[in-house]
Structure 1
């Protein structure tokens, strides 16, 4: 039996795209134009483009058409793949560090070695952490606007592990979780692996559009809300108190569990009260020390309502049993002696300097970001394609992220996210100048 005509068309398009005959960014005929040209039914033409998109060769964009993708570029560019080449300037993944942190670690290890409690660190720890360490973290959280008991604090292996244990403990496959239309990719991966359905909420001014959230909750059985009200990744907003209160009113009306991701909250000075303080009966507050201290220090914490503690402890037991004793002891020692507070203050200043530099170099482009954020969102000029910009930058040994890893809606904006915290300032300055030139060159080629 001869192959279906649509399949032959798919193969022909695919061959031309892979051979470079159809260059990245080429706009393909409309569905109707293709149907008329090839003598197909409209539904068959749509099937051709659907299969090409499923193969990762094209992208369909509402109101603009169907375009050839840059096939040399990973669809997840920016998050799931870190720049590994020795000469690659990594602007896609943040691992901010300050001079002198290595010596801090040497000192902490020496101090720990002289500790009389060293033998205890060789044994299993309680699943949620030792009582005195939970109390240390509870005291530290006061600077984040949280007043909680040690019993409400559970220690985990980083904020991502905290998110995973929260999902395992409190959500079921098939649950609908409302989240921003652009959100943290790590939660997208987590939701997919646990069979959660993410329902996107479009953005309003400095936060999610609460009318959209309200309508979503009235039309769907939404179980939870994943939010980053204090220094959102990737948009950088800090949601105001009034909007937080309105969000909580919706959550209470529809009995939503709230997962508050505060991984970057330390960068915002004097933000409004956390959701966990405004709605403590239904909010999980999750953060860690990866960004504020060092990415290799995989210590995080969950603040939870007391009734949920046993369920989360079981999830910790099922995944890691407990956090590494030595790592936790170092982290809590640095919290207790003020090292973490000092590093957080220094990183706020460092982030402000980098953000200011980025805004100056990229002046005139449509950028979104907090003044003390380690990342910047850049909406590209009209008709400028993110995959072309990203690929052109890769060819210049600069790795950035497209919007695709962050998007929870079908419509993916042509934008890039720049991580500002992973390279030296002088390298960042040159890289940002290159980013600007590449965006301008790609715009001129449209």
Structure 2
């Protein structure tokens, strides 16, 4: 005699066809542990009858759940909740900000096959110049000119990813113990670098367009010391709020930095999504800007090539820091970069990343209508503004349901600040997992987990 299923059949409260609602309901209950590993699920016909849906709908939902590793069928016995090893694979990770996967195995195979004849043992066994080969720096300068910023190749350094470039830029701009101004919530990697280097970080108010000039002006005028001061800022798709500065805002920031002799560290890793009429800060103030970009956020995380553009007077110091922290960027990554920038792969992959990011952002807006912070660009992260206590509550609730988000405290320059939010990284999960993760977040908010939240005028 077969044991009855312990699951109480229901459909999820999300919008969508019945099979997606059935998938969402079962996935939520499995992640919550209310249906334990090894538990039998209702037979197809019984479940269809109980929910008033078609037999094909149940079959399709079970197939989706099986592909995700949540359930497994046993011939002649039925469908069961998968064991702990399979369940561990079903966590939806919305905490890591990577672009959607637009590369194919076929593309990678073709690229590596093309490079086979270019990377012999002799060339692989030699050191390259620390700043990168001249031809590779020229290709990067051409890509930046087409993409964002016109700059001479001899002012570019090729690094092991944008994080490496950022660490050099911050060290150049702000000596140990110096003052680093930045947005009140910002990229966790920059916060970690600043704390490691013992910079004094000062959070500045932001709004729907990013850093507020009034906050920058106030902070600069109220300084009591006269040591070096630097500004770390992300003008396009600010991480985590996804705010993008308009032209007037960019000009105001540059004007204030010139007036107070502030060095700008511009993080432009989301430049793929910048409207064409918005210049980089480094184009507006080349004499005081350290410009950071890279290919990991624009194309693929595995392409660990970052770029640092410096004013002429800082290039020698930057090169010395580069040599100290890394002998050279990966020769293989440099060759892949050169191949893709030459044969048009970078352009086509970038276009695909933009299109898929827009589709995923549309999914997020549909799942959370009116709740995301407004952003004029379709990047691959979104922001749910709310007080810190509410954000922590939502993050904990989501984790209990198998959905991981970045800890809100990791995004705050001052963890005691009350205004915060939830960053949703949309690029990494497969679309069905993303839909499930968004549905879980929506359900938590509908149940009041986030409290009374909304984009404040000042964060």
TM range (shorter): 0.7 to 0.9
Q: 1-side partners of 2:213 and 2:293: how far apart?
A: 24
| Aligned counterpart in structure 2 of residue 241 of structure 1, from 236, 247, 250 | 247
Residue in 2 that maps onto 1:399: 404
Q: 1-side partners of 2:420 and 2:180: how far apart?
A: 25
CA RMSD of aligned residues (A): 2.1
Residue in 2 that maps onto 1:260: 266
Residue in 1 that maps onto 2:133: 130
Q: 1-side partners of 2:308 and 2:352: how far apart?
A: 24
Residue in 2 that maps onto 1:432: 438
1:87 equivalent to 2:76? Answer no
| Aligned counterpart in structure 1 of residue 316 of structure 2, from 281, 295, 310 | 310
Could you say what secondary structure the match of 1:322 adopts?
Answer: coil
1:229 equivalent to 2:235? Answer yes
| CA-to-aligned-CA distance 1:144-192 (integer Å, 9 cap, x gap) | 3311111011100001000111223343111101100111110000000
CA contact (8 A) 2:265 2:291 kept: yes
In the TM superposition, what are the counterparts of 1:32-43 in structure 2 within 5 Å? none
Could you say what secondary structure the match of 2:347 adopts?
Answer: helix
Q: 1-side partners of 2:370 and 2:141: how far apart?
A: 43
How far is 1:370 from its partner?
Answer: 4.3
1:408 equivalent to 2:413? Answer yes
Residue in 1 that maps onto 2:301: 295
Residue in 2 that maps onto 1:152: 155
Change (3 A) 1:369 1:100: same
Q: 2-side partners of 1:424 and 1:286: how far apart?
A: 29
How far is 1:102 from its partner?
Answer: 2.9
Residue in 2 that maps onto 1:36: none
CA contact (8 A) 2:101 2:300 kept: no
Q: 2-side partners of 1:186 and 1:368: how far apart?
A: 24
Q: 1-side partners of 2:248 and 2:420: how far apart?
A: 31
CA contact (8 A) 1:369 1:375 kept: no
How far is 1:423 from its partner?
Answer: 0.8
CA contact (8 A) 1:369 1:377 kept: no
Could you say what secondary structure the match of 1:246 adopts?
Answer: helix
CA contact (8 A) 1:402 1:415 kept: no
In the TM superposition, what are the counterparts of 1:259-408 in structure 2 within 5 Å? 259-380=265-386, 385-408=390-413
Residue in 1 that maps onto 2:213: 210
CA contact (8 A) 2:95 2:405 kept: yes
Q: 2-side partners of 1:385 and 1:85: how far apart?
A: 27
CA contact (8 A) 2:170 2:265 kept: no
Could you say what secondary structure the match of 1:238 adopts?
Answer: coil
Q: 2-side partners of 1:149 and 1:138: how far apart?
A: 7
Q: 1-side partners of 2:172 and 2:372: how far apart?
A: 40
Could you say what secondary structure the match of 1:141 adopts?
Answer: helix
CA contact (8 A) 1:268 1:372 kept: no
Change (3 A) 1:338 1:383: closer
CA contact (8 A) 1:403 1:413 kept: no
Residue in 1 that maps onto 2:62: none
5+ residue gaps in structure 2? Answer: 1-86, 453-459
In the TM superposition, what are the counterparts of 1:57-96 in structure 2 within 5 Å? 85-96=88-99
5+ residue gaps in structure 1? Answer: 1-83
Could you say what secondary structure the match of 1:385 adopts?
Answer: helix
| CA-to-aligned-CA distance 1:54-77 (integer Å, 9 cap, x gap) | xxxxxxxxxxxxxxxxxxxxxxxx
Q: 2-side partners of 1:134 and 1:184: how far apart?
A: 27
Change (3 A) 1:123 1:200: same
How far is 1:201 from its partner?
Answer: 1.0
Q: 1-side partners of 2:340 and 2:102: how far apart?
A: 16
| Aligned counterpart in structure 1 of residue 423 of structure 2, from 394, 417, 428 | 417
| CA-to-aligned-CA distance 1:41-65 (integer Å, 9 cap, x gap) | xxxxxxxxxxxxxxxxxxxxxxxxx
Total equivalences in the alignment: 362
Residue in 2 that maps onto 1:4: none
CA contact (8 A) 2:101 2:427 kept: no
Residue in 1 that maps onto 2:200: 197
Change (3 A) 1:310 1:342: same
| Aligned counterpart in structure 1 of residue 186 of structure 2, from 177, 183, 187 | 183
Residue in 2 that maps onto 1:171: 174
Could you say what secondary structure the match of 1:177 adopts?
Answer: strand
Change (3 A) 1:308 1:356: same
Could you say what secondary structure the match of 1:178 adopts?
Answer: strand
Change (3 A) 1:445 1:362: closer
Change (3 A) 1:137 1:398: same
How far is 1:119 from its partner?
Answer: 3.1
CA contact (8 A) 2:168 2:321 kept: yes
